Amino acid sequence: MSSDPILEVENLVTQFQTEEGVVKAVDHNSFSLQRGEVLGIVGESGSGKSVTAMSIMGLIEHPGEIKAGEIRYNGEDLLSKSDAEMRAIRGNEIAMVFQDPMTALNPVYTVGSQIQRIIRKHTDTTKQAARERTIELLDDVGIPEAEARVDDYPHQFSGGMRQRVLIAMAISCDPEILIADEPTTALDVTIEAQIFELLDRLQEKYGMSIILITHDLGVVAETCDRVAVVYAGRIIERAAVDDLFESPRHPYTRGLMRSIPNLRSAVSRLTPIEGRIPDLSALPPGCSFHPRCVHATEECRQIDPGLRTVAPGREAACIHAQGYGPYETTTGVDGDGADAVASDGGVDDE
Ligand code: ADP
Ligand code: MG
What confidence tens digit (pLDDT) does each residue in 301-324 have?
999 999 999 999 999 999 999 888
Burial of 82 (0-12, 13-18, 19+ CB in 10 A): exposed
| pLDDT surpasses 80 at 263 | no
List Cα–Cα distances, 267 to 211, 221, 248, 257, 328, in angstroms. Answer: 31, 18, 20, 14, 12
The strand pair at 21-34 and 209-214 is best described as unpaired
Q: Whose alpha carbon is nearest atom 8 of ligand 1?
A: 46
Q: 230 alpha carbon to ligand 1 midpoint, in Å? A: 13
Using the Cα atoms of residue 151, residue 137, residue 95 and residue 203 in order, give the sign of their dihedral. Answer: positive
E strand spans, the chain: 5-18, 21-34, 38-42, 64-73, 76-77, 94-97, 177-181, 209-214, 226-231, 234-240, 308-311, 314-316
Report which protein residue has its CA nearest ligand 1's atom 7. Answer: 50
Residue 323 and residue 254 in contact, taking contact as beta carbons nearer than 8 Å = no
pLDDT number for residue 193: 87
Cα of 14 vs centre of ligand 1, distance in Å, is 10
- Model confidence band, residue 10 (pLDDT cutoffs 50, 70, 90): very high
Q: How confident is the model at residue 262, as a pLDDT? A: 58
Question: Which among 287, 80, 98, 273 is positioned nearest to 184, based on CA atoms?
Answer: 98
Q: How far is the CA of 48 from the centre of ligand 1 (A)?
A: 6
Q: Is 6 in the pocket of ligand 1 (CB under 6 A)?
A: no
Bridge partners for 97 per DSSP: 180
147 C-alpha to center of ligand 2: Å? 34
Which atom of ligand 1 is found nearest the CA of 48?
6
pLDDT at 39: 98
CA of 158 to the centre of ligand 1 (A): 28
CB of residue 16 inside a 6 A radius of ligand 1: yes
Whether the CB of 53 sits within 6 Å of ligand 1: no
Does residue 224 line the site of ligand 1, with CB under 6 A? no
pLDDT number for residue 266: 47
Tens digits of residue pLDDT in 194-246 = 889 999 999 999 999 999 999 989 889 989 999 999 999 999 999 999 999 99
Cα–Cα dist 183/170, whole Å: 12
Calculate mean pLDDT across residues 164-185.
Answer: 93
Q: Are 71 and 177 a contacting pair, CB within 8 Å?
A: no
Q: What is the pLDDT of residues 268-287, one digit of tens each?
A: 556 778 899 999 999 999 99
Atom of ligand 1 nearest to the CA of 52: 6
Does the CB atom of residue 25 touch ligand 1 within 6 A?
Answer: yes
- Summarised one tens digit per residue, pLDDT across range 135-154 is 999 999 999 999 999 999 99
* pLDDT one-digit tens code per residue, 11-64: 999 999 999 899 999 999 999 999 999 999 999 999 999 999 999 999 999 999
Residue 339 reports pLDDT greater than 60: no
Nearest Cα residue to atom 24 of ligand 1: 16
Q: Compute, in angstroms, the gap from residue 233 CA to the centroid of ligand 1.
A: 9
pTM of the model: 0.90
Indicate if ligand 1 lies below 6 Å from the C-beta of 54: no
CA distance 223 to 332: 25
- Report pLDDT digits (tens) over 64-117: 999 999 999 999 999 999 999 999 999 899 999 987 766 789 999 999 999 999
Q: Does residue 48 line the site of ligand 1, with CB under 6 A?
A: yes
Distances (CA, A) of 207 to 41, 49, 77, 98: 20, 24, 23, 21
Nearest atom (ligand 1) to Cα of 45:
4
Q: Over 70: is that where the pLDDT of 341 sits? A: no
Q: Quick check: CB of 17 below 6 Å from ligand 1?
A: no
- Ligand 1, atom 10: closest residue by C-alpha: 48
**C-alpha–C-alpha distance, residues 246 and 232, integer Å:** 24
Neighbouring residues of the ion ligand 2, judged by CB less than 5 Å: 49-50
Cα–Cα distance measured from residue 65 to residue 55, given in angstroms and rounded to the nearest whole number? 9
Q: In angstroms, how far is the first alpha carbon of the chain from the final one? A: 27
CA 26 to ligand 1: nearest atom = 10
What SS3 class is residue 251? helix
3-state helix, strand, coil in the chain (%, to 5): 35, 25, 40
What DSSP letter does each residue of 165-227 carry, written as one string? Answer: HHHHHHHTT--SEEEEESTTTTS-HHHHHHHHHHHHHHHHHHT-EEEEEES-HHHHHHH-SEE
Is pLDDT larger for residue 191 or for residue 186?
191
Confidence class for position 118, pLDDT limits 50, 70, 90: very high
